[in-house]
Chains A and B, each alone.
Chain A
Amino acid sequence: MGSKAVVVDDHPMCRAAAAMAINAVDPEIVVAEASSLAEALEQACDADLLTFDLGLPDSSGVIGLGTLRERFPAASVLVISGVTNPAIERQIERLGARGFLTKAAPISEMVQAIAAVSAGGRWFSNELANFGEDDDFSRLASLTPAQARVLAAMETGRLNKQIAHDLGLSEITVKAHVKAILKKLSTPNRTQAILMLRGTRA
């Protein structure tokens, strides 16, 4: 295992449990904690391992994971979430996480998962292998991190110009992202795309 891990979770107790599990694998590893995506982005620059909760105050769903992977592609990421949905697990896998674990998993399994991921292995459920390719979750998972951010901004009702300002992009780039998003999701307009996104959270 490397020398630094970051536990990203907005709940102090869940952070503590994950940190304890990491140190059960390797007592020498330095564990930092982050309670939001913004804190994670600050802390994770030299981390070898990240554990990541999908429900953060500033990031809901897999979008934050995409951002984290894009910024720190070398770090191994284990998602630990209260969500139990093979479709979301598929999204997580496609975004490049090394593993997924439900928070209901016993801590001994968390230790095993951390050990596996840290050693370069993977930790996903068996259900993942049987999951279909052509569904809303798969289409959403096919979005690039930049497209996912634009879609998240679309959900808030922002116009292209406003999204461009918020994300530091040109309006033309945002338009291109929106066009690509609609194509990938096979939706005729942005409202349908937003409904698809919301539907996967239900």
Chain B
Amino acid sequence: MESLFVQFNGLKWRISLLGESVILLTSTKSDPTEVRQSGLAIEKILGSQLYDITISYESIALFSDLPVNQIISTLQNKSIDEPINDTPPAVEVPICYELGSDISDVADYTGLSSDELIKLHLDGIYEVAMIGFLPGFVYAEGLHQKLYCPRKEVAIKHVSKGSVGIGGSQTGIYSFDSPGGWNIIGRTPIELFQPERTPPVTLVVGSPFTFYRITEKEFDKWES
């Protein structure tokens, strides 16, 4: 397939089809922050002609009935003039490290003590890079390099809802009980997915967030 490209927001994007009416823009430069901002800008530009979008680390899937050519000509050579001011509000996420079943494994691997690990984790400022895997499941950026820890060789069958995990350089929060292969360092009592709410997720792509520590007792008594 001969490749087709579009220049948008100062980045070069490879165009491919993901489905009959789904166009995939893949950035030739790996910069999740710029991909994310481009995705949010495209949402604004295409407005109601875009009926859904999946923003991920390197690519943006556009769900639209517009012909590919029209999307290309709409985006070609455009840049985001004004910064996107309506970045989602920052969220503070409570976390109980006592419920992190793999915290000692991560400490062993990284050579940190549990206290050092927790401090590094609490000092981090994170941003949602992608939502996927499960409804409301958050993939975040901002993990301190010293906390990188490869995912488990074999996924386990049950990871509890709210678990905060580390898989390689990635970090995320499980929105439902599910199988999973990330190392669990803590658990949050907040609901990431509530279908009766608008929007149904607490964290959206681009949401900045930080963690604050709670005790096991506070976790048990938590009411969202």
Whether A associates with B in a native complex is: no
Q: Which of A's residues lie within 8 Å of B, judged by CB? A: none
